[in-house]
Structure 1
Amino acid sequence: MIRSLGFVAALILLNSAWAFPGPNFLPLSEDQHELLVTILNWLLALCLVCEVNTELSRWAEDKWIWKDDKSVWNWGNEVAVITGGSKGIGAMVVKTLVSYGIRVAVLDVEPLSDVFLSEESNSINFYKCDITSRVQVHEAGEAIRSDFGSPSILVNNAGIGNANTILESSPEGLRTIFEVNLLSHWNTVQEFLPDMIAKKKGHIMSVASLAAFFGLAGMTDYSCTKAGLIAFHEGLTQELKHRYSCPQIKTTIVYPNWTRTRLIRAIEKGIRGPVMDPKDVAEAMAKQIISAKGGQVILGPNIAASIRALPTWLQEFIRDRMAHIVTVKATTAVA
C-alpha cells in the first residue's frame, strides 16, 4: 500500500510539473504535451481506483470491521491448536507462534520431529489424534482445555496428497484424502469454536493451496479437497457474522504455492518455477495471526485467484502448461 500511495504522489507531482512546465522543461509540441497529461491523468485515476478496490477488499475480508481491537490479544496467554504440527509447514508454524510466547497444542498422528528445541518444549504439548475421528478430536479438546485452557487460535494445517489419475484412484484413497483435507475441519471447528463464540474472540485458519483454483491432471482429488476449503471458509465467515453475531472471530484461508514438503517429493522434478520453503509459508501464516486480521493469504502469483475470470482459452492454456507436473503414481504423502 505504501508503494502504491508513493506512486500516486509521484504521479500528482509529475502531473503538476507537466501541467505547468517551466522553461525548457520538456521539448514537446503542444499536442504531445496534452497527450502526456491525458495519459498521466488516466494512470492516476486507475491507480486511485485500484487502491480503493484493495482497501475495500481488505475491509470486506475482515468482516467489515474498520479497526481491529488488538488489545484483546495477549500472546503470552493465548493457546493455539495446530493440526499436522509435528513436521513440515505445521512444525514451522508451531515454532514461529511459540517465539511470540503462544502456547501450542499439536494434534497429529506422528510424534513431534526433532526440529523443536528443548527450550520450546515447555510451550508445546503433543496430542496423538486422528483428526478424522470426531471422538478423538473431542478427547484431545478435553485434554487441551485441562492442560492449557480454551484455545483462541485454530490452524487447520494437516493435509495429505495423492498422485493418481481419476481412474487410478481407489475408494479408500478418496475417502482418506477428503476426510483429512476437508471433513476434519468440521471436527476441529465444532470442538473449538463454541468457546471462541462465548468469548467473542478467536482466529480460525484454513490451509488450502493454489491448486484450489484449478484442477490439475494427476491430482484431481487433492484439488477438489482444497477447492472445498474455499466454500468452507466462506460459509464459516458468513455464519460467524449472521448466525452467531461474532464478526470479531477472525477467519483466514491460506493458499501456498508448491512447498518443499513430503507432499511433493515424488513430483518435484516436474515443477517449473520456484518451490517455497516451509519456513516462509509458516512466517506468512504467523504474521496473519499476529496482525489479528482475517482474509486471504495468497503465497504465489495473485493472478491464480482470478484465473476463472480469464477467457476460457487462456484458462485452458494455463492448465495445459501444468499438465506435465504430476505424471507419476505415488502413494499418500503428508504435507
Structure 2
Amino acid sequence: MSNPPSLSSFQSDKPLLDHLTIDLIFAILNHTFLNPIFAWLIPLTYRAQTFQYHHPPLYLSAAYAAFVTVLWIAKQVNRRLAYGTKREFDWMEEVVVITGGASGLGLLIAEVYGMRGVTVAVLDVREPEGGEARNVDFYKCDVGDRKQVEAVAKEIERDLGAPTVLINNAAIVNGKRVLELSAEEIETNFKTNLLSSFYTIKQFLPGMLKLNRGSIITISSVLSSIAPAQLSDYAASKAALKSLHSSLTAELADQPGIKTLLVTPGQLSTPLFYGVKTPSNFFAPVLEPVDVAKEIIAAIDGGLGGHISMPVYSRWIGVMEVLPASVQRFLRWASGADRAMAGFKGRKVLDQEGNKTW
C-alpha cells in the first residue's frame, strides 16, 4: 500500500510571525522536555560523563525524567480506560460519509481520503468547490431535512456500501443578535447544525452495528463552552452536539468496535467565520483547516475515539465555568470574545466578493 498523500499542499501562506503562538511553544515542549525519551537523555549524558549517582545534577535530572515518564504512562492508561482499544481501520474496506463536505474542513478531509483511494460520500446543498475530487461521490442533500437524509442514505448504501465512518461536519452561522434572528433562521440553524447529526446517526449507525466496526466523528466547537454575543443560536447548537456525543458514547460503551470522536476547535480560517478577527493570535490563533484535518484523520486512521480540542486554550476553557461570575465577566471582556463578531461577514459576503478561502 502506498504512503498517504501529503497535506502540505493545503498549507496557508500566513506571515512567519503568525506561526509564533502559545500552541507552537507547547508543541516544542511536548517533543522535548515533556518527552520521556528526551528527558532520560539528560541523566544518561551526565552518567556518561562519569557523574556519580549521588551528584545533584544526575539524581535531579533522573527524578525529573522519572516524573515525565509517569505522566506519559498515566496519559496512555487514561486513554485506554476512557476510550478502550483501537479498532482496525482498512482504507480499502471503509466508506466515509461527510456532511458539509463541499468546502472548508469537510472538503479537505474528503479530498485527502479520496486521494488515498478510500470511498467517500459528501452530503451538501452546495456543489463541491473545484468539482468532485477523485473517489469522492457528491450527493446533493439538505442534511437538515430528515426525508432527504433518509433518501440519500439508501442511495449511498446501494452505490457504495454500508458507511463505516460518519463525520458530522455540516454547519451554518447567522452571526446575529437574538432579536435580529428570524424564526426561520433559528430553525434552519438547529436543523443544519444539530438535527442533521441525529438524522445521519440514525441512518448509518445500524449498519455499523451489523459490521461491528465504525467511527462517528462529531464536529462541535469551543463555542459550545463559551457563547459570545451574536452567536446564541450557533453556540447553543454546538453545545447540544457535545451532549449528543456524550450520550451516544455512553450508549455505545458495550460496542468496542465503534468509536466516537468529539472535535471542539477554535476559530478556523474557513468561509464560515469570514471577517471575524481573533483578539490575540498568540493566545487564540486562528486554526488552519489542514491542521485540524491532520488530527482528525490521524485519529480515524488509528481507530481511536476520544476528544480533539485545539488550539491550547480550548482545552482549558471549561475551567471558566467554576470561576466566580465576576471573574468570568472580566475574562470575557479581557479576551474580547463578545466583540469578536463585530467584523463578521460570513459565507454569503465571501461568495459575493468572489474570494476563496479554506
Tell me whether the two structures share a fold, i.e. TM-score over 0.5: yes
Residue 151 (structure 1) aligned to one of 163, 182, 186: 163
Aligned residue number for residue 198 of structure 1: 210
TM-score (norm 2): 0.77
Matched, 1:262 2:271: yes
Residue 9 (structure 1) aligned to one of 24, 40, 46: 40
Aligned residue number for residue 259 of structure 2: 250
Matched, 1:133 2:145: yes
Aligned AA (2:166): L
> How far has the Cα of 1:305 moved from its partner?
4.8
Point out the more displaced range, 275-284 or 310-319: 310-319
Residue 332 (structure 2) aligned to one of 303, 319, 329: 319
Percent of paired sites with the same residue: 29
> How far has the Cα of 1:254 moved from its partner?
1.1
The 5-angstrom pairing of residues 16-95 of structure 1 reads 20-21=54-55, 37=60, 41=63, 43=64, 47-48=68-69, 50-62=71-83, 64-65=84-85, 68-70=86-88, 73-95=89-111
Deviations 1:156-195 (A, max 9, x none): 0111112112232222211111111111110000000000
> How far has the Cα of 1:150 moved from its partner?
0.6
Deviations 1:212-258 (A, max 9, x none): 221112212211111111111111111011xxx31210110112221
Measured on the aligned residues, the alpha-carbon RMSD in Å equals 2.9
**How far, CA to CA, are the matches of 1:330 and 1:40 in structure 2?**
54
Q: Are the aligned partners of 1:164 and 1:330 in contact in 2 as well (CA < 8 Å)?
A: no
Point out the more displaced range, 230-239 or 293-302: 293-302
Aligned residue number for residue 112 of structure 1: 128
Aligned AA (1:5): P
Are residues 318 and 55 of structure 1, via their aligned partners in 2, closer, same or farther at CA, if it must alter by over 3 Å? farther
Q: Are the aligned partners of 1:96 and 1:282 in contact in 2 as well (CA < 8 Å)?
A: no
Residue 294 (structure 1) aligned to one of 272, 287, 305: 305
Are residues 50 and 135 of structure 1, via their aligned partners in 2, closer, same or farther at CA, if it must alter by over 3 Å? same
> How far has the Cα of 1:263 moved from its partner?
1.1
Aligned AA (2:37): G
**How far, CA to CA, are the matches of 1:329 and 1:283 in structure 2?**
27
Are residues 102 and 306 of structure 1, via their aligned partners in 2, closer, same or farther at CA, if it must alter by over 3 Å? same
**How far, CA to CA, are the matches of 1:11 and 1:158 in structure 2?**
48
**Segments ≥4 residues shifted beyond 4 Å:** 10-19, 43-46, 328-335
**How far, CA to CA, are the matches of 2:118 and 2:138 in structure 1?**
15
Residue 272 (structure 1) aligned to one of 265, 268, 280: 280
Q: Are the aligned partners of 1:163 and 1:328 in contact in 2 as well (CA < 8 Å)?
A: no
Bigger radius of gyration among the two = 1
Q: Are the aligned partners of 1:61 and 1:296 in contact in 2 as well (CA < 8 Å)?
A: no
Aligned AA (1:82): I
Residue 221 (structure 2) aligned to one of 194, 209, 221: 209
Aligned residue number for residue 96 of structure 1: 112
**How far, CA to CA, are the matches of 1:113 and 1:329 in structure 2?**
22
**How far, CA to CA, are the matches of 1:139 and 1:328 in structure 2?**
39
Q: Are the aligned partners of 1:210 and 1:257 in contact in 2 as well (CA < 8 Å)?
A: yes
**How far, CA to CA, are the matches of 1:166 and 1:232 in structure 2?**
24
Q: Are the aligned partners of 1:210 and 1:304 in contact in 2 as well (CA < 8 Å)?
A: no
Aligned AA (2:78): S
Q: Are the aligned partners of 2:274 and 2:345 in contact in 1 as well (CA < 8 Å)?
A: no
**How far, CA to CA, are the matches of 1:204 and 1:50 in structure 2?**
29
Match of 2:250, SS state, is helix
Q: Are the aligned partners of 2:167 and 2:216 in contact in 1 as well (CA < 8 Å)?
A: yes
TM-score (norm 1): 0.81
Are residues 57 and 217 of structure 1, via their aligned partners in 2, closer, same or farther at CA, if it must alter by over 3 Å? farther
Aligned residue number for residue 244 of structure 2: 232
Deviations 1:38-94 (A, max 9, x none): x985x56753553344223322442x33xx242xx3212211111011111111010
Matched, 1:221 2:233: yes
**How far, CA to CA, are the matches of 1:248 and 1:317 in structure 2?**
45
Point out the more displaced range, 315-324 or 148-157: 315-324
Aligned residue number for residue 29 of structure 1: none
Deviations 1:19-48 (A, max 9, x none): 522xxx88xxxxxx9xx95x985x567535
> How far has the Cα of 1:304 moved from its partner?
3.4
Are residues 50 and 216 of structure 1, via their aligned partners in 2, closer, same or farther at CA, if it must alter by over 3 Å? farther
Q: Are the aligned partners of 2:266 and 2:310 in contact in 1 as well (CA < 8 Å)?
A: yes
Match of 1:327, SS state, is helix
Structure 2 gap ranges (5+): 1-29, 351-357
